[in-house]
């Protein structure tokens, strides 16, 4: 299930209640998003959630969830890696893992919104390179406490217990990155029939590289007004090869 860390639900009271209900349920995990802020006017074709309003930082929110829920896993769908320096990202993730007992699931993306890159002073054209560098740094720091950054040696403790890394994005870019660096692929909003051929390509490429068992985590709204149709769609995702399906929902207060 997704839990909205933005919009009118971005309050401690609402989020605490949602997290604790989820913690008592049979749900496996809850997921949330990453945006810094939206430009006053979005370019044509760029999606924006309805009534976005307030946006809470995902690593900060993850530490909040670590404190108010004790069982359920939680993760980002997705964390935009080029937005944060790799050492800062590593330290944030290490803190989340320590405080949550290693319940974090790391969905990552390279980002898409030009305005956010400009506000950060980060070149959007470098987003793929920065994404790969950060993933590699996370993997390295999970194996070695002694690291080097910008030519300077550093001891990073506690050592990161690296969460599973799910690579967001379109198949042509995300599948090669998943095979080389990830634990799974995280496509968004694709229907089962369209997803099945890409999942087959993922497993074919994974097998060729000795990477069997790659997961597929997809986010898509189910037709909850028709439970039978929702079950049928969820089963279709499973048959297509999806291993986790966080369901996107619009809270009632937005309707």
pLDDT tens digit sequence for 122-175: 999 999 999 999 999 999 999 999 999 889 999 999 999 999 999 999 999 999
The pLDDT-based confidence of 255 (bands split at 50, 70, 90) is: very low
pLDDT at 53 over 50: yes
Q: Helices 192-208 and 171-181 sit at what angle, rounded to 10 degrees? A: 40
CA distance 91 to 218: 27
**Among the listed residues 37, 78, 82, the one whose alpha carbon sits nearest the alpha carbon of residue 59:** 78
Q: Residue 140 CA to chain centroid, in angstroms?
A: 20
**Among the listed residues 57, 59, 65, 52, the one whose alpha carbon sits nearest the alpha carbon of residue 7:** 52
Task: Tell me, letter by letter, the H, E, C secondary structure of 30-84.
Answer: EEECCCCCCCCCCCCCCCCCCCCCCECCHHHHHHHHHHHCCCCEEEEEEEEHHHC
The pLDDT-based confidence of 45 (bands split at 50, 70, 90) is: low
What is the pairing mode between strands 215-216 and 184-186? parallel
As a whole number, mean pLDDT of residues 236-254 equals 80
Q: Residue 199 CA to chain centroid, in angstroms?
A: 18
Please tell me what DSSP assigns to residue 7.
G
CA distance 99 to 95: 6
Q: Residue 203 CA to chain centroid, in angstroms?
A: 21
The CATH H-level superfamily of 7-254 is Luciferase-like domain (3.20.20.30)
State how far the alpha carbon of 117 is from the alpha carbons of 7, 32, 35, 141, 206, in Å.
22, 20, 11, 26, 32
As a whole number, mean pLDDT of residues 50-71 equals 90
pLDDT tens digit sequence for 86-105: 999 999 999 999 999 999 99
Q: Is the dihedral of CA 108, 76, 215, 156 positive or negative?
A: positive
pTM score, whole prediction: 0.94
Q: Which helix (H) or strand (E) holds 168?
A: strand 165-168
């Amino acid at each position: 299930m997704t839990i909205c860390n933005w919009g009118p639900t971005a309050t401690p009271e609402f989020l605490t209640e949602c997290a604790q209900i989820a913690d008592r349920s049979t749900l496996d995990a809850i997921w949330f998003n990453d945006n810094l802020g939206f430009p006053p006017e979005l370019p044509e074709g760029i999606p924006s959630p309805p009534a976005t309003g307030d946006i809470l930082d995902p690593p900060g929110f993850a530490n909040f969830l670590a404190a108010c829920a004790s069982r359920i896993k939680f993760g980002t769908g997705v964390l935009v890696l080029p937005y944060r320096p790799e050492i800062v990202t590593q330290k944030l993730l290490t803190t989340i893992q320590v405080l949550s007992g290693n319940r974090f699931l790391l969905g990552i993306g390279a980002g898409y919104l030009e305005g956010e890159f400009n506000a950060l002073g980060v070149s959007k054209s470098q987003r793929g390179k920065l994404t790969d560098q950060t993933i590699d740094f996370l993997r390295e720091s999970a194996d070695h406490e002694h690291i080097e950054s910008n030519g300077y040696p550093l001891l990073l403790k506690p050592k990161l217990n690296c969460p599973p890394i799910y690579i967001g994005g379109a198949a042509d870019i995300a599948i090669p990155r998943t095979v080389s660096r990830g634990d799974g692929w995280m496509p968004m909003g694709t229907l089962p029939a369209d997803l099945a051929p890409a999942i087959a390509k993922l497993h074919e490429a994974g097998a060729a590289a000795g990477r069997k068992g790659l997961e597929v985590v997809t986010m898509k709204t189910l037709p909850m007004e028709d439970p039978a149709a929702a079950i049928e769609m969820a089963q279709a995702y499973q048959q297509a090869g999806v291993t986790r399906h966080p369901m996107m929902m619009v809270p009632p207060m937005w309707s």
